[in-house]
Structure 1
Amino acid sequence: MQRYFLAKPFDEDGFAIITGEDEKHITRVMRMREGEEICCVSKGVGHIATIHRFDENGIIVQDTGNTFSMSELPVQVTLACGLPKGDKLELIAQKGTELGMTGMIPFQAERSIVKWDEKKGDKKTARLRKIAKEAAEQSHRTVIPEISEPLTFKGMLKQAESFDVLLFADEEEAKEGTSNRIAVRLEKVYHGQSILVLFGPEGGLSRVEAAALRDAGFLSMSLGPRILRTETAPLYVLSAVSYEFE
């Protein structure tokens, strides 16, 4: 059953309206008709709804009163990613959504080769949000991950203050074979907590950044003896969290 996220919740009579790209998808791609059922997600809850009528202002859907099971991780995981090259952020947004991330915060790291273009920034962020929305629909999520505008390193540290658990992947620890394995760090995480996991760009984090993260309350962790690409590491962590909690 096709799934759509509602911009506005169902009203008191159980009706809602679908507009924009989703309206076009229903009418032109799916070619659906009145009376057919779709999944509508509102305020983190999935509802089974029927297409009531096609209106000039959009598609009117009616809640049947039936809901479907939740598919979210029992912990909220946000990824803070040092700006990487190419379309790697798009890959992380898509696959991270499929694997259950709650949000993504791109940030300008010391070793980031890419500099965020302010003129094109809004379009890039909008594209990332569109990718996350489509991936959430495809993977039957009930939450669309929140994609932040890129921040400075200091701005990211300020955002980190609102999370319960702060972790960062440190490739230097992987090289040295230290014992701060991800499994050990996750032992002290509990259901319902919010986690911010930070990753460096290509080339990793500088030692100055690593020290600043520790001062801000971040705990370092190793992702194993192999050095992972900047777009692989976040997906590895989400998979590990899923294994641990699901």
Structure 2
Amino acid sequence: MQRYFVAPDRFEDDRVVLEGEDAHHLSRVLRAQPGDTCIVSDGVSKEALVAVVAASKERVETKVVEWLAMTSEPAVDVWIAQSLPKGDKMELVIQKGTEIGAARFIPFVSERTIVQLEPKKEAKRLERWRKIAKEAAEQAHRNRIPEIEAPVGWKELLKLAAAADASFLCYEKEDKQQLRKLIREVLDGRPDAAARILLIVGPEGGFTEAEAREAEAAGCRTVGLGKRILRTETAALVGLTCILYESGEMGGAT
């Protein structure tokens, strides 16, 4: 069933109003008629099955048929810190990472990042990334849209490690500490509480040894993702999937 995210103030008692692109999609693309149903969420605390009352290109008025439980989100919050990759790879990471279950995306610039930041384009780029996350969250029937942060520098990123319960830096030269084992250590130590895990993925050229040491000094643990070298966008998605599998979100052991 089609799902939409709306601002919390769009909920008014048992009425919900959709406007803008969502209203156009529901009324013109899906050609919704009075009585047709869809799911609407505020991405915070309210989600409902609603029925269309009146529809136009700019505005669709609906009425709540049934309030729904918000149970689709992982108990583990995974923050994907992705060094800005070339081309549209960041869009792929956000789209697929949202579908899998990431809670937050933090683009950053490291020493070997090739992409050059252009402040004039940042707002437009963020808008596009957030739209991609919204659409992916709707498609995956998530209860919330992941946060998409503005790009930060390497030093600023490392400060975020203190806010997470565990921080892992994917490092191709790490052959002793594998992600799976360390995830189990974190989760086994927090059996009754959700964990916030920061997963840091480098650019196409990987991290320098100096960056790996700086990350360790900031409280991160360098980890490997197996014997094969993964592309940057692949590493982010594999790491995310490993964490959610081990937490039981994908049928893994708990």
Given the two structures, how large is their TM-score scaled by the length of structure 2? 0.90
Decide which moves more: 130-139 or 55-64.
55-64
Q: Which residue of 1 aligns with 2:139?
A: 138
Q: Which residue of 2 aligns with 1:241?
A: 243
Q: Distance in 1 between matches of 2:196 and 2:95?
A: 20
Aligned runs of 1:106-185 on 2, under 5 Å? Answer: 106-173=107-174, 177-178=175-176, 180-185=177-182
Of 222, 232, 235, which residue of structure 1 is paired with 2:234? 232
Q: Distance in 1 between matches of 2:76 and 2:86?
A: 29
Percent of residue pairs identical: 40
Q: Distance in 1 between matches of 2:17 and 2:4?
A: 11
The alpha-carbon deviation at position 46 of structure 1 amounts to: 2.9
Q: Distance in 2 between matches of 1:117 and 1:83?
A: 12
Q: Which residue of 1 aligns with 2:79?
A: 78
The alpha-carbon deviation at position 53 of structure 1 amounts to: 2.2
Decide which moves more: 45-54 or 86-95.
45-54
Opposite residue 34 of structure 1, the aligned amino acid is: P
After superposition, the C-alpha distances for 1:146-197 in whole angstroms (9 at most, x for unaligned) are 1110001112122333222111111111xxx31x111111112335111110
Q: Which residue of 1 aligns with 2:252?
A: none
Any idea what SS the aligned residue of 2:163 has? coil
Question: Within the alignment, does 1:217 sit opposite 2:219 as a pair?
Answer: yes
The alpha-carbon deviation at position 198 of structure 1 amounts to: 0.2
Q: Which residue of 1 aligns with 2:24?
A: 24
Q: Which residue of 2 aligns with 1:203?
A: 205
Q: Distance in 2 between matches of 1:155 and 1:37?
A: 45
* Pairwise CA RMSD: 1.7
Of 172, 181, 185, which residue of structure 2 is paired with 1:188? 185
Q: Distance in 2 between matches of 1:88 and 1:56?
A: 33
Alignment gaps of 5+ in structure 2 = 188-192, 250-254
Q: Distance in 1 between matches of 2:233 and 2:117?
A: 18
Question: Within the alignment, does 1:41 sit opposite 2:41 as a pair?
Answer: yes
Any idea what SS the aligned residue of 1:231 has? helix
Opposite residue 102 of structure 2, the aligned amino acid is: M
Given the two structures, how large is their TM-score scaled by the length of structure 1? 0.93
Number of aligned residue pairs: 242
After superposition, the C-alpha distances for 1:13-45 in whole angstroms (9 at most, x for unaligned) are 221211111111001100101121110112154
Decide which moves more: 214-223 or 37-46.
37-46
Decide which moves more: 158-167 or 112-121.
158-167
Decide which moves more: 4-13 or 108-117.
4-13
- Tell me if the contact between 2:84 and 2:107 (Cα under 8 Å) persists in the aligned partners: yes
The alpha-carbon deviation at position 66 of structure 1 amounts to: 3.0
